[in-house]
Amino acid sequence: MIEPLFFKRPAGITVQGIAQLTGAKPGTGARLDHVITDIASLDRAGPHDLVFLDSNKHADALASTRAGACLTTERFSTQAPTHVNVLCTERPYDGFVTVARELYPDALRPSSLFDSEGVAPGAIVHPAAQIEDEVTLDPGAVIGPRAAIGACSIIGANAVIGAGVQIGRNCSIGAGVSLMHALIGDNVIIHPGCRIGQDGFRFQPSGRTHAKVPQIGRVIIQDNVEIGAGTTVDRGATADTVIGEGTKIDNLVQIGHNVTVGRNCIIVAQCGLSGSVVLGDNVVLGGQVGIADHLTIGEGAMIGAKSGVASHVPPGEIWLGSPAWPRHEFVRATAMLRRQFGQRAKAGTGDG
C-alpha cells in the first residue's frame, strides 16, 4: 500500500458501495459493510485495500493476499482466502479503475502544485487578458495580452500563456508549459514542460542557406485531450495543427506543423509525426514510432512501437517495423530471418 502523501486520504467506500458502483456481484459471505479506503496490488494490499485479479498470471498471489476486497471473475472467485471480500464481475480491471476514480477524485486532473486558489503571488497577468471565475494561477505563471482562461482552469507555476491564446474550462496546464498561437478546448490536460504553438520546421533553400518560411497557422486542441510532459506541438504553416477530441498523447512526442490527429487516438511516448501527417480516429501509435510527412494512418489502425512508417496505412490494419510492414508479414519475416541467419550464426559457421 502506498502512503498517500500526495493526495487527500480517501473517504472510503463499503463493499456494498463498490458493488453498486461497478455492478459487481458480492460473493457468498462477503461483509457488505466492510470499508475500503485504498487500492493496491495483490502482494502489497492490506485489510482496507481493494485489489483485482483478471488473469492466471497473478492467481497465485490471491491465496496470500491480505486485501480487504477483490474484484475478480467467476473463475477465480472461489480461490480467494475467506478474509477477502470477493466481488464478481466480467471486467475486474474496469471496476477497479472505477473505484480508484471514486476514491481519488483529485487524481483525475493535476491540481495546483502550490495549493493555490485564485492568482498566486508572483503570477503576472497582462491587463488585457481575460480570466474567468475560479481560475487558479500558480506562482510565476505569465498570461499574455488578449489571452482568455476559462472558468475552473489551472495554470501551473511558471507556465507561459502567449498573447491571444484561448483556453477553455476545467483545463490543467502544467508547470513550465509554453502555449502560443493556440486555441484549447475544455477539460484539456497539458502536462509540465509541453511546448505548444511554436514555429513549424520549414525552410526554403536559397543558395546554400535556408530561408525561414513563415508559419502563420495555429494549434487547435479539442476537448478532453491530454498531452504528456515535454511534448512539442508546432503550429500550422498556413493551415492549423489539430489534435482531435479525446486523444491522449504521452511524453516527449513531436507533432509537426499541419498535422491532423483524429479523435480518441493514443500516441505513446517519443513518437514523431512529420508535417501534414493525418491520423484517423482511434489510431494507436506505440512508443518511438516515426511517421514520414504527408502520410495518412487510417481510422483504427495500430502501429507497433519503434516503427518507421513510410507509406499510407489503411484503416484498421496493424503495421510494424522500419520501414513498417503489415504485422503478419513483419512477424513471420523476422522469425524466418532469425532462423536462417541467427541460428547459422549461433552454429558458428565462421562468418563473424
From residue 116, alpha-carbon distances to 55, 107, 143, 232 in Å are 43, 16, 16, 27
Helix (H, G, I), strand (E, B) or coil at 33: coil
CB of 213 to a second copy, least distance (A): 5
Contacting a second copy (CB under 8 A), which of 174, 244, 262, 280?
174
- Please, are residues 38 and 7 in contact by the beta-carbon 8 Å criterion? no
- Tell me which residues in 28-67 interact with a second copy (CB under 8 A): 39-41, 44
CB of 344 to a second copy, least distance (A): 7
HEC assignment per residue over 162-193: CCCCEECCCCEECCCCEECCEEECCCCEECCC
Residue 93, interface with a second copy (CB under 8 A)? yes
36 or 269, CB closer to a second copy? 269
Catalytic residue among 58, 83, 126, 257: 257
End-to-end alpha-carbon separation of the chain, Å? 51
Contact stretch for a second copy (CB under 8 A) within 60-68, 81-89, 287-295, 311-319: 287-295
Catalytic residue check, 312: no
- Tell me which residues in 63-92 interact with a second copy (CB under 8 A): none
Residue for cell digits 483478471?
54
Q: Angle at which helices 15-22 and 92-103 pack, to 10 degrees?
A: 120
- How far is residue 89's CA from residue 268's CA, in Å, rounded to a whole number? 29
Residue 222, interface with a second copy (CB under 8 A)? no
Residue 297, interface with a second copy (CB under 8 A)? no
- Report how many residues bind a second copy under the rule CB under 8 A: 124
CB of 79 to a second copy, least distance (A): 22
CB of 207 to a second copy, least distance (A): 9
Which residues are known to be catalytic? 257
